[in-house]
Structure 1
Amino acid sequence: MGRRGAMLAVVAAVLAAAAAGAAAESREAAAKGMYHALFNFGDSLADAGNLIQNGTPEFLATARLPYGQTYFGKATGRCSDGRLVIDHLAQEFGLPLLPPSKAKNASFAHGANFAITGATALDTPYFVAKGSATSSGTPWFRELKPFFCNSTQECKKFFAKALFVVGEFGGNDYNAPLFAGKGITEAYKFMPDVIQGISDGIEALIAEGAVDLIVPGVMPTGCFPVYLNMLDEPKDGYGERSGCVRRFNTFSWVHNAHLKAMLEKLRAKHPNVRIIYGDYYTPVIQFMLRPEKFGFAKQLPRACCGAPSTPERAAYNFNVTAKCGEPGATACADPTTHWSWDGIHLTEAAYRHIAKGWLYGPFADQPIIQSS
């Protein structure tokens, strides 16, 4: 390549970078002010402190450092080192971080976070006895409605400019039989009822006035150190490149397939409501297979914060007797190089990538922010 050709190549690269920067600024500008409020429902993937609003149990490791160390500098009840997907969404929309719905003297002018650690999609006596929440959180939602609006017309207008994040749900429902040692066959029996529970929650929110919703699927269960540490699979039971347990990932994939089919039915039933599928599964798989793309280290599924268990499973850095925040556990030097925070939940860095993927693609069946 001659001098002129090299110069043209440099100019082209500069123009391309400038165009990319302008496009990024344009889409971020489109996000600001798109919604006046956010409402979030879910479990520990989205809990911003509801579990600790009535006091912090001494045994609750997630309520002390190193949880929260990256962004907040203190534990906030979030099961991560920093912000969650809902936090990244709020900031992208130019909104304050959502207060937990159980918070005292909080401002709910821009919505609320109803998620709570341990929430399930099934509202059965079994789960109620265990202290779990229902799928939709609509009883709490209805209790707080006077903070948002005071008449049917006012509520309709307010909710029309709000985004409802419904989930993830299902993980804790399936954990009940899995952690009890009943096996994945038993967990499959829960699936139709879990999907129906999520559907009922969505319908309840639509009845309240929701017109924009994003409904996340579950993550690939077989990639998480909490499961990898307790399972003893044959060699061919693990993904050759990922190291994840195949049959558990298949289980998660089947749940997500049923969830998407259910959402299609709801879209047909409610043509004036936008219902988006939020993908947790694909990004986590990509974190494993293409870690360098996201700034993560190439390694087997490994918790940033934890402790090794048996020598043959030390690489997972997960020990049920020394979980993150408990004596014997330590956090890695740089959580941005890990996607798994504590072997169960994700790091702030991973949640940021997922939030961006929901907002602009490709981690949603339609991006929240539509390109013009």
Structure 2
Amino acid sequence: MGKREALVAIAVVAVFLAASAGKVDAAKAAAKGKYRALFNFGDSLADVGNLLIANGVSDNLTTARLPYGQTYFGKPTGRCSDGRLVIDHLALDTPYFEARGLGAVVWNSGALMTQIQWFRDLKPSFCNSTKEECKEFYANSLFVVGEFGGNDYNAPLFAGKGLTEAYKFMPDVIQGISDGIEELIAEGAVDLIVPGVMPTGCFPVYLNMLDMPAHEYGSRSGCIRQYNTFSWVHNAHLKRALEKLRPKYPNVRIIYGDYYTPVVQFILQPEKFGFYMQLPRACCGSPGSVAKAVYNFNLTAKCGEPGATACAHPSTHWSWDGIHLTEAAYGHIARGWLYGPFADQPIVQSP
């Protein structure tokens, strides 16, 4: 498998847009007249339902069933959350697309380079003007590149091969992301935000799956230290790769989007964000074994499956299903990307 093909995403994402979904944050950004469109590439953290629509509803697709979507949409949409994702909170009003019948365009899942090829294939649909006009259109669009890496690392980790094997993936993952950024810049992107990965060791799916010595768990967070270190190392390498790209493209803005810091803060300072509990616990799930019931995650009864239930108030939790975040958590992260502090520079710049 080559470097570019190494970035396998479970469920992706399309180009765009949810004119009604952005609400307050999107309205503020749009009011500044910054972007005409939003293009998003990523995995299940950013999938707004494309996998569901593209593949049809299957019995094993839990995101096609309640309680997914209960908080905002009132019905399942294929999003891996109780409501909106970061991309929905960032999405700007784009009547330009809807006027051309593109409001429901969806793509299947695929690697980053595969998604970029889909982007090229669809280019005539949303930019069929002159080369100069297309360049201007892209120059006034925001490109969200990721998160990528989480699913690549999950492959060896879920197979029980451990972190040693996962670390071997890292150079190819980072190079693949870097290559993808350059491909998008070549297409005309001038504003890109590239998110890092979340702290793996804080998620109930791993906390339920792994039995580690007591000293491997953070005394305050309860997260698995070496798994968080792995995520931190990925993010450090990604930031270094972005730093190398910036001088090469001085007229392009490449922003690092932080998923890691806010999730850690959700655990260590829950009251700051309106979350009532500190422990990593899924809002939607089932207790499973007595020893690990505190995580509310069970592989045999995951969210959306028989035996699983959702908490009464998802807005008080940061973890939705033990793997993905709640709408409330995604909202905090989106605001941090738009205005700071969860990005190395805010997307929305002060005049």
TM-score calculated relative to the size of structure 2: 0.88
Cα–Cα, structure 1 residues 95 and 239, in superposed 2: closer, same or farther, change >3 Å? farther
Cα contact 1:136–1:205 (8 A) shared by 2: no
The reply to whether residue 185 of structure 1 matches residue 132 of structure 2 is no
**Which residue of structure 2 lines up, in the alignment, with residue 69 of structure 1?**
70
Cα contact 1:46–1:115 (8 A) shared by 2: no
**Which residue of structure 2 lines up, in the alignment, with residue 39 of structure 1?**
39
Cα contact 2:268–2:278 (8 A) shared by 1: no
**Which letter maps to 1:53?**
I
The number of residue pairs the alignment matches comes to 323
**Which letter maps to 2:118?**
W
Structure 1 stretches lacking a partner, 5+ long: 1-24, 100-104, 117-131
After TM superposition, the structure 1 = structure 2 runs for residues 95-106 of structure 1, keeping only pairs within 5 Å, are 95=94, 106=102
**Which residue of structure 1 lines up, in the alignment, with residue 125 of structure 2?**
147
Instruction: Pick the aligned partner of 1:218 from 193, 197, 208.
Output: 197
The reply to whether residue 241 of structure 1 matches residue 242 of structure 2 is no
The reply to whether residue 322 of structure 1 matches residue 301 of structure 2 is yes
Cα–Cα, structure 1 residues 181 and 30, in superposed 2: closer, same or farther, change >3 Å? closer
For each residue in 1:219-274, what CA deviation from the matched residue of structure 2 results, as whole angstroms up to 9, or x when unmatched? 00000000000111111100100000000000000000000000011111111000
> Structure 1 runs of 4+ off > 6 angstroms?
25-28
Cα–Cα, structure 1 residues 287 and 135, in superposed 2: closer, same or farther, change >3 Å? farther
Cα contact 1:135–1:198 (8 A) shared by 2: no
For each residue in 1:124-175, what CA deviation from the matched residue of structure 2 results, as whole angstroms up to 9, or x when unmatched? xxxxxxxx43356111101110111123212101101100000000000000
Shift of 1:115: 7.9
After TM superposition, the structure 1 = structure 2 runs for residues 134-213 of structure 1, keeping only pairs within 5 Å, are 134-135=112-113, 137-150=115-128, 151-213=130-192
Partners of 1:201 and 1:275 in 2: CA distance: 13
Partners of 2:34 and 2:219 in 1: CA distance: 43
**Which letter maps to 1:67?**
Y
Cα contact 1:43–1:115 (8 A) shared by 2: no
**Which residue of structure 1 lines up, in the alignment, with residue 266 of structure 2?**
287
**Which residue of structure 2 lines up, in the alignment, with residue 59 of structure 1?**
60
Shift of 1:107: 3.0
Cα contact 2:51–2:107 (8 A) shared by 1: no
Instruction: Pick the aligned partner of 2:318 from 339, 344, 365.
Output: 339
**Which letter maps to 2:81?**
S
**Which residue of structure 1 lines up, in the alignment, with residue 50 of structure 2?**
50
Cα–Cα, structure 1 residues 28 and 60, in superposed 2: closer, same or farther, change >3 Å? closer
Partners of 2:45 and 2:28 in 1: CA distance: 27
**Which residue of structure 1 lines up, in the alignment, with residue 103 of structure 2?**
107
Cα contact 1:47–1:113 (8 A) shared by 2: no
Partners of 2:41 and 2:253 in 1: CA distance: 17
Partners of 2:113 and 2:328 in 1: CA distance: 27
Shift of 1:370: 1.5
The reply to whether residue 269 of structure 1 matches residue 269 of structure 2 is no
The reply to whether residue 81 of structure 1 matches residue 85 of structure 2 is no
Secondary structure at the aligned position of 2:262 is classed as helix
**Which letter maps to 1:283?**
P
Cα–Cα, structure 1 residues 71 and 256, in superposed 2: closer, same or farther, change >3 Å? same
Structure 2 stretches lacking a partner, 5+ long: 1-23
Partners of 1:315 and 1:354 in 2: CA distance: 25
Larger radius of gyration: 1
Partners of 1:304 and 1:115 in 2: CA distance: 28
Cα contact 2:197–2:231 (8 A) shared by 1: yes
For each residue in 1:162-218, what CA deviation from the matched residue of structure 2 results, as whole angstroms up to 9, or x when unmatched? 000000000000001000000001100000000001011111111110000000000
Partners of 1:236 and 1:179 in 2: CA distance: 22
**Which residue of structure 2 lines up, in the alignment, with residue 368 of structure 1?**
347
**Which letter maps to 1:71?**
Y
Instruction: Pick the aligned partner of 2:285 from 300, 306, 311.
Output: 306
For each residue in 1:268-306, what CA deviation from the matched residue of structure 2 results, as whole angstroms up to 9, or x when unmatched? 111100000000000000000000000001231000000
Secondary structure at the aligned position of 2:136 is classed as helix
For each residue in 1:59-85, what CA deviation from the matched residue of structure 2 results, as whole angstroms up to 9, or x when unmatched? 111111110111111111100000000
Cα contact 1:30–1:369 (8 A) shared by 2: yes
For each residue in 1:102-133, what CA deviation from the matched residue of structure 2 results, as whole angstroms up to 9, or x when unmatched? xxx6337xxx77684xxxxxxxxxxxxxxx43
* Structure with more relative contact order (C-alpha pairs < 8 Å, separation 6 or more): 2
TM-score calculated relative to the size of structure 1: 0.83
Cα contact 2:269–2:278 (8 A) shared by 1: no
Shift of 1:28: 6.2
**Which letter maps to 2:126?**
F
